[in-house]
Structure 1
Amino acid sequence: MSGEFDRKCYIKRVNEVLELYSGNKLTSFKVAFFLDQKDTEVLDKWVRFAITKGAQKLDLRCYGTLSACDKYVFPHWILTDLNISTLKHLSLYQCVLKPPTDFDRFVQLTTLSLCDVEVDQDFLEHLFSACFLLESLTLISCAMHSNLIIGPSVHLHDLKVLVCSVFGRIEIDAVNLSSLEYDGYNTQISFMKTPKLVTIFFKGLQGPLPNVLTQLTSCPELSTLHLQIREYFEHIPQTFLTLRNLKKLKLDLLLDDLELGSVLNILRTAPLLEELLMMGFQGMWFEIEFTICILKIATKLESMVIDPHGSFYDGDETWYNITCSYEEGNEDEHPEEVIEGISKDDNVDDNVPYELFCWQKRGRAAVQERLKDVKTAAQVIIL
């Protein structure tokens, strides 16, 4: 009853605001509430209002709807009825987008963001014909029942494909693409024509990492690579091709059994690497040995940052905090032989977690001690 009341109250207040609006122009319009297919008449009315006022940015976030049959269907026909094409930025969350393949009212779109959206497959296949000016495309938690073909496009420069079930392959033909975020969920990129790609964020979920890196060797301008490996991934051979212009590498160490040999082989592909950031460092003895190997291999390295806590980037401008998981003795190959211990009673600050206190009290110094004799010109910062 309370939820139904809140929804009716929200609708009533939005209607009141729109009735009082006397302006001739509207730049953007955003709805974010627990609305669904049952509210189609109201939502259609709001969308018509926004389009009639010449809104260039439209953001519809209908929270709480899990079933596809309950999701609100975006009224693309309103753009046809009004014969207006001022919309440049469209963002949909938990909606349905099913315009016909010959739909021509998205010609001004430069940004399209779809999260948990049911997308018509025929429309998706012709997306860059309908939206040939598209500069930024974000697909999150969208199910695609065929191949995902991105492009050909000369305008697209930002692409995000995250947690999408693609029952086929992904092909990218975007000659001016500069930024790519991809998580390898259920599929692999089989073709990339992205000669201007500069930055990539890869959140490995199910093991296609070597395939992705193979495609990246055809990206001569790639300078920044962010790898977040969450589950087991295939071994990367030592004969892997070279990423000649890679200058910055960020590694999120989220596995206890991370295959460090493969990571070292990635480093060997980047002879000009200058910056390296390692997140989620637990001070394990093998992580320390891994760090020593990196300092020996990356001869051009200028800075290395080791961070046992902080914030992880999770894609699409979202971050989540991690806590330090260091345990006393991690740095020793045989921690059971450690005699001196740190008592929880030694931690006088209740705001500092015990693991972080141990890191500050012992872990950081232990890592510094192990690294002090390594000959390197890089500045090593241990947070």
Structure 2
Amino acid sequence: MKDILNTSVLSKRWSYIWYLMRDFKFDMLNVLGSEETLLEKGYIVDVTEKRYEFSDASRNEYVKIVDQIIKNFKGTEIDSFMVEFSMKQENSSTIDQWITFAVLRGVKRIDLLFGFDYDGYYKFPFGLFSKFDNSKLKHMQLRYCLVYQETSFEILPLTNLRSLILEDSKVDEIFLKTLLHDCHLLEELSLIRCDINTSILNIESSSLCLLKLEFCTLKGYNLHTDRLWINTPALKSIHFRAYCTIEETAKIFPLIATLPQLEILNLYIPNTPDFINYLNREDFTLENLKELNLIYGPREYNFDISWLSIILQASPILQKLSVMITSPMVSTHLPAIRDVRTFSHCEIKIIELGGCVGNFYEIEITLNALKYFHKLERIVLSPYWINEFLDQGLKCDPTWSQSGRERILEELHGKGIGLDKLVLV
């Protein structure tokens, strides 16, 4: 983006070509340069796990360059507008001007991804959209923003909005109600680590197809199933991760059983050997569920496939099962590998196990799946796992490469099963 201004002065022809740009991406790399360049110039004063802390000089330079590009741009239409940088509250009026620039040109996607060290929350100017007829905005992602409506009588002027992602933001109850009531084309809603100003989270929509709720709080208290109400008949996919007790986590199954179109479930399950005690097979049936993705952990030594069997029996047309164990460790206690005939299924084609290190439960799941999953096409065992709380990418335990694969193959050898469907990553 910085080079755009420089090349525009080289010739009369080039000075107009950049007006045809439709996508504006103002992140660190495109505006200021690489991490090495920033370190050399002293723009980065701290680097911890890729969470940059920028100097005031770097922030001033960033604002100056973005301002120059916006003020010199003569194009009439743009498709996307992204700001990804560590801004301050003193820059709020400048950001308002940038948003105005984008809205005036019929922007279809806005991403405001502010840094973790933002001193407060940027108040997103929804009222700005009411000044322009027929907003074209379809997709929006906000991070570290204050998101709310002044009154419940306001109409949210985002009639074309399809997806909204809110991260690390403060969200008002009135805004959510207005959003779900007024935005009839909204299909995807993600609330990630948000503090929502309500006691009961009511998600009621006739259009919503994908819902993601991840580690949110309601008035400062952790969101759990007793404080969640969902009435979304068109919902096909739900992603739910929360700081819940195991009893509260188990209640998610009867809750989602009320969603007639649900096909995909992503769920975080806290570490406990007693999960089976909180599952009642008669409480729920997941008639249309086709894909189940579970993150389980951390450091579970005694994974019991019995509770997993209950969920499978309640999901008659399930086709894909994925289970990831976080922070895996090799168990020193090795129970006998069981032949669990109730661990069976007629439709599952793909099984994926993540966080494998060669533990007994990995062998037990593999053995029984190969014997009793009648349509199984492949079962993939991988050492890779993710931190269930932090987005730090995939991790891998060296135990797998040293002995994990050999241990599993040795245990499965001579069990009277074919291993052609087994994939060891």
TM-score of the superposed pair, with normalisation by structure 1: 0.77
On the 8 A contact 2:366/2:379 being kept in 1, the answer is no
**How many residues are paired up?**
344
The letter for the 2-side match of 1:96 is L
Deviation at 1:161, TM superposition (A): 1.1
On the 8 A contact 2:288/2:317 being kept in 1, the answer is yes
Distance in 2 between the 1:180 and 1:315 partners? 18
On the 8 A contact 1:242/1:270 being kept in 2, the answer is no
Give the secondary structure class of the aligned counterpart of 1:42.
helix
Pair 1:73 & 2:159 matched: no
Pair 1:42 & 2:94 matched: yes
CA RMSD of aligned residues (A): 3.6
Deviation at 1:175, TM superposition (A): 2.3
Which stretch shows the higher mean deviation, 236-245 or 108-117? Answer: 236-245
Pair 1:248 & 2:298 matched: no
Partner residue of 2:267 out of 192, 197, 202: 202
Give the secondary structure class of the aligned counterpart of 2:60.
helix
Deviation at 1:195, TM superposition (A): 2.0
The letter for the 1-side match of 2:413 is K
* Partner in structure 1 of residue 16 of structure 2: none
* Partner in structure 2 of residue 226 of structure 1: 293
1:66-145 equivalence runs, <5 A? 70-99=120-149, 100-101=151-152, 102-144=154-196, 145=198
Cα deviation, 1:136-181, whole Å, max 9, x if unaligned, reads: 111100123422222232x222221112124452222222222221
On the 8 A contact 1:184/1:206 being kept in 2, the answer is no
1:326-345 equivalence runs, <5 A? 326=399
Distance in 2 between the 1:225 and 1:315 partners? 20
Pair 1:171 & 2:229 matched: yes
* Partner in structure 2 of residue 322 of structure 1: 395
Q: Structure 2: any 5+ residue segments left out of the alignment?
A: 1-41, 44-54
Cα deviation, 1:107-141, whole Å, max 9, x if unaligned, reads: 22111010011111222234310322111111100
Distance in 2 between the 1:10 and 1:203 partners? 39
On the 8 A contact 2:291/2:318 being kept in 1, the answer is yes
Deviation at 1:89, TM superposition (A): 1.2
On the 8 A contact 2:156/2:179 being kept in 1, the answer is no
On the 8 A contact 1:237/1:265 being kept in 2, the answer is no
Pair 1:183 & 2:256 matched: no
Distance in 2 between the 1:264 and 1:8 partners? 65
Distance in 2 between the 1:265 and 1:285 partners? 14
On the 8 A contact 1:181/1:201 being kept in 2, the answer is yes
* Partner in structure 2 of residue 381 of structure 1: 423
On the 8 A contact 1:65/1:94 being kept in 2, the answer is no
Identity of aligned residues (%): 24
Q: 1:213 to 1:27 in 2, by over 3 A?
A: farther
Q: 1:283 to 1:13 in 2, by over 3 A?
A: same
The letter for the 2-side match of 1:98 is Y
Distance in 2 between the 1:291 and 1:133 partners? 43
Distance in 1 between the 2:199 and 2:175 partners? 12
Deviation at 1:93, TM superposition (A): 0.5
Partner residue of 1:236 out of 304, 307, 322: 307
Q: Structure 1: any 5+ residue segments left out of the alignment?
A: 327-354
